[in-house]
Amino acid sequence: MKLATYRNHTRDGQLMVVSRDLSQALAVPHIATSLQAALDDWSRCEPALQEVYAALNQGTVNAAVSFDQSACHSPLPRAYQWADGSAYLNHVELVRKARGAEVPASFYQDPLMYQGGSDTFLPPHADIPLADVSWGLDFEGEVAVITDDVPLGSQAGDCATHIRLLMLVNDVTLRNLIPAELAKGFGFFQSKPATAFSPVAVTPDELGQAWQDSKVHLPLRVEYNGKLYGQPQCGVEMQFNFAQLVAHVAKTRALAAGSIVGSGTISNHDRATGSCCLAEQRMIEIIEQGAPVTPFMQPGDQVRIEMLDAAGHSIFGRIDQKVIAHD
């Protein structure tokens, strides 16, 4: 099943059921007005939403409208929780190697994770405002899951059953603000502005065989300024799967329905697959050339993030964002 949220001048938007081919959509206020409302009552709403989804795919819904990705907000315009991991340790290894540091052994057994701002997200086709180019604006292509209620202390095996939906992510980052923030010992804050998610969230079964072991086994495609920048495989080098990441969050707290947990930047050891962020390419340049060459984003730059199925069809729709100067 595929779900989206249209902007409608309310904080949580209007829930839309979207056809598999992303051509048709239907509002379902008789089932749930928003995605959060559906997640709050998933056992009741999910079967009804599936019925609408089946009818959309069969072309038997007369009230359906053409699906407009530009009308979408992120599937959850705001969320109770946004916790982002760093499950692809090749990314961490490159960053550490560039500054001559080893990766601590604990990183391979215990996930890295930070708590992002979740009170407001960017729509997937919204501009990214940048007040100061010296802050080092970067995109980060990721995958994320949305959970239902996860009890405190849930183990990874149980957490897999609490994953309800998947989305793509642009985890917008201000790289040059990170060092000073981390030096304070309290982690990211100003360096992590509003995040954007894909137009569509999908249930895991939509991925078929590409969803195994709580991982997505497909490449994530990132285009930067009209050119392919990277398409690393999401499943091959994910140190911690999504069930393990959710369990990491649940170790000391319960998760409310509508909590979002991210994978961190998709990254492969095979450099031929490219990168999902500018920082990774800059780290490679430091390692190989002694200094970075690739600049961070400037007003006018554009990033597109998308995932295609084996037949070349878009699964989640496309994140498509430009940078604008913000006073």
Q: Which of 83-92, 148-157, 200-209, 236-245 has the lowest mean pLDDT?
A: 83-92
Per-residue confidence (pLDDT) for residue 101, from 0 to 100: 73
| N-to-C CA span, the chain | 40
Q: Determine what percent of the chain is predicted with pLDDT higher than 90.
A: 90
User: For the chain, what is the mean pLDDT?
Assistant: 95
Q: Which residues lie below 8 Å from residue 8, measured CB to CB, with a gap of 6+?
A: 14
> Residue 317: which of 175, 206, 158, 234 has the closest Cα?
206
With beta carbons less than 8 A apart as the criterion, state whether 145 and 168 touch: no
Confidence category of residue 308, pLDDT binned at 50, 70, 90: very high
With beta carbons less than 8 A apart as the criterion, state whether 74 and 63 touch: no
Q: Give 295: exposed, middle or buried? Use CB within 10 Å, 0-12, 13-18, 19+.
A: exposed
Question: Measuring CA to CA, how many Å separate 40 from each of 104, 161, 202, 288?
Answer: 39, 16, 17, 50
With beta carbons less than 8 A apart as the criterion, state whether 150 and 166 touch: no
Q: Which two tokens stand for residue 327?
A: 């006073």
With beta carbons less than 8 A apart as the criterion, state whether 23 and 227 touch: no
Per-residue confidence (pLDDT) for residue 50, from 0 to 100: 98
283 alpha carbon, distance to own chain's centre: 22
What's the CATH fold of domain 77-325? Fumarylacetoacetate hydrolase; domain 2 (3.90.850)
140 pLDDT above the threshold of 90: yes
Q: Taking the model in full, what pTM does it have?
A: 0.96
39-42 long-range Cβ contacts below 8 angstroms, 24+ apart = 39/146, 39/148, 39/164, 39/257, 39/258, 40/257, 40/258, 42/148, 42/164, 42/257
298 pLDDT above the threshold of 70: yes
φ, ψ of residue 223 to 5 degrees: the values are -110, 140
pLDDT in tens, 56-102: 999 999 999 999 999 999 999 999 999 999 999 888 888 777 667 78
Q: Which two tokens stand for residue 5?
A: 């949220």
Q: Which residue has the tokens 């559906």?
A: 38
Per-residue confidence (pLDDT) for residue 170, from 0 to 100: 98
Q: Determine what percent of the chain is predicted with pLDDT higher than 70.
A: 99
pLDDT in tens, 175-199: 999 999 989 999 899 999 999 999 9
Per-residue confidence (pLDDT) for residue 99, from 0 to 100: 66
For 114, the 3-state DSSP assignment is: strand
Q: Which two tokens stand for residue 35?
A: 């995605």
Confidence category of residue 106, pLDDT binned at 50, 70, 90: confident
Which segments of the chain belong to CATH 3.90.850.10? 77-325
Q: Which residues lie below 8 Å from residue 325, measured CB to CB, with a gap of 6+?
A: 129, 130, 131, 299
pLDDT in tens, 8-47: 989 999 999 999 999 999 999 999 999 999 999 999 999 9
Per-residue confidence (pLDDT) for residue 95, from 0 to 100: 77
Per-residue confidence (pLDDT) for residue 8, from 0 to 100: 96
pLDDT in tens, 233-282: 999 999 999 999 999 999 999 999 999 999 999 999 999 999 999 999 99
